[in-house]
Amino acid sequence: VASPTPTSPRRVAVVGAGIGGLALARALQTLDTGVEEVAVFDRRSELKPGVGGGIQINGGAAVLARLGLGEQMKASALPVRRILSRKSGGFELLDIDVESLVSAEPALVAPDGTPQAFSIMRDALQRILADSLPVGTVRLGQRLESLREDDAGVELLFEGGAAERFDLVVGADGLSSRVREHVA
């Protein structure tokens, strides 16, 4: 992360409250970036529990720890030590000693020597990230209609007519991204 400069964006909008958008918002608020305000917008009216499957986090565990969320993540996750896959008849398709592989990379080992490889449910990680942000940062039920960029920044226009201006807008709104339509 670069040190803030006089031209660093002060107000940042993140469109999309998935794991990527929420993690970025946490990083901008936690690390020395010069960003003063972050707002996360999502078209959904709620972060739905039970949506999405389990995901494996290796290098991401070190990032979450740096963002101050390592303990919360560990409390909701299971350590991954080995991945073993067999066909129904018992034939071994895959056997990965995750613990040894992760242990060989110093950046993926906690100060106490524990390999940082975990499996966590997507909705649990999303909730940890959302709950780590100050109240009012995540703004649900905000469907982006369009955006307009000029020399003063970027204006977001939402369904219903609301508008808000930011120095920088980040699209983390997935496959059907409204932000992507405006990126040259």
Spatial neighbors of 169 by CB under 8 A, at least 6 apart, are 12, 13, 14, 15, 147, 154, 156, 179
Compute φ and ψ for 48, nearest 5 degrees: -80, 125
Task: For 15-58, write each residue's pLDDT tens digit.
Answer: 999 999 999 999 999 999 899 999 999 999 998 877 778 898 88
- pLDDT (0 to 100) of residue 5: 55
Please say whether the beta carbons of 165 and 158 come within 8 A.
no
Task: For 74-130, write each residue's pLDDT tens digit.
Answer: 999 999 999 999 999 889 999 999 989 988 988 888 888 888 899 999 999 999 999
